Amino acid sequence: LDYFEAGAQCAITASYQATPLGFAARGIDPVQSRRLIVLSAQLALQARDVHRAAHPEAGPLLVAGSVGPYGAYLADGSEYRGDYALPQAQMLDFHRPRIAALVEAGVDLLACETQPSAAEVAALLALLQEFPQGTAWFSFTLRDAMHLSDGTPLREVAALLDGHPQVVALGVNCIAPALCTPALQHLATLTRLPLVAYPNSGERYDAAGKRWDGDGGDACGLAGRVDAWRAAGARLIGGCCRTTPRAIAQLAQRLRANALHGG
């Protein structure tokens, strides 16, 4: 299966913050937690089946299991800073149940997304090898176009992931749209893997107030940036937090038009 052939569409499961530790804080036991994570995959897979039945002409329809960072569990905005530390054994224990549930539920691949920390990326790569049938893309939040949010140069992270047989793409997500192009251009010098780009609306997350600040105007301009992202090597393109259905529809229309014209 070529994950990134022309016309492929991809849905991401609603498991970004779905972890046993997070559920435990709500009084949900590990067995129930696993069921909920599996359900997030089953719902996406069922939606794919329904869409395929109604649109048999549709191209490949993929389901990626979302594996959010430890910072998302902390719910303090640290997925945009990467300023947390956890021994690798504990990091593995944190991520293992969710990955196991998603893989066994039958997702096509994993989305190790919104990753701000080089140490966590290394832990996830080690954990992925416990599931040899699984594949994943890794996408990062950034301090600037050349550094992860924790300050690690992207070249170091790309060197760790590039060439690994279970890693199918590298990229960025939930960063401002304006940062995507220079970040992708830099990543393209570090890897031959397909690139991933799905920015947020351009708003900033206020962790203390639990809200997004700004007007989100950049979300309306996603479609206008697609050509630059594709030129830099992006093959899986979409939107993350605060992007709207309208913005995604415009983006998809632009991608379809490019495909029709061989772009």
Given a cut of 90, whether residue 22 has pLDDT beyond it is yes
pLDDT confidence tier of residue 261, bands split at 50, 70 and 90: low
Among candidate residues 111, 109, 67, the one with its CA nearest the CA of residue 92:
67
Structure tokens at 58: 């549709």
Q: Supply the pLDDT for residue 258.
A: 77
Pair 194, 211: CB distance under 8 Å: no
Among candidate residues 78, 77, 102, the one with its CA nearest the CA of residue 18:
102
Structure tokens at 20: 């046993």
Among candidate residues 136, 127, 53, 132, the one with its CA nearest the CA of residue 96:
127
pTM: 0.94
Instruction: Give the percent of the chain with pLDDT over 90.
Output: 81
pLDDT digits (tens, 9 = 90+) for 63-118: 999 999 999 999 999 999 999 999 999 999 999 999 999 999 999 999 999 999 99
pLDDT confidence tier of residue 61, bands split at 50, 70 and 90: very high
Given a cut of 90, whether residue 5 has pLDDT beyond it is no
Residue whose structure tokens are 């913050």: 17
Pair 226, 233: CB distance under 8 Å: no
Q: Supply the pLDDT for residue 1.
A: 43
Residue whose structure tokens are 């970004």: 16
- Average the pLDDT over 136-164 and give the result: 97
pLDDT digits (tens, 9 = 90+) for 198-236: 999 999 899 889 999 987 777 668 889 999 999 999 999
- Average the pLDDT over 172-192 and give the result: 97
Q: How far apart are the C-alpha atoms of 154 and 188, rounded to whole Å?
A: 11
Please enumerate, as own/partner, the contacts of 179-183 that have beta carbons within 8 Å and a separation of 24 or more. 179/142, 179/144, 179/145, 180/225, 180/229, 181/225, 181/228, 181/229, 181/232, 182/145, 183/142, 183/145, 183/146, 183/154
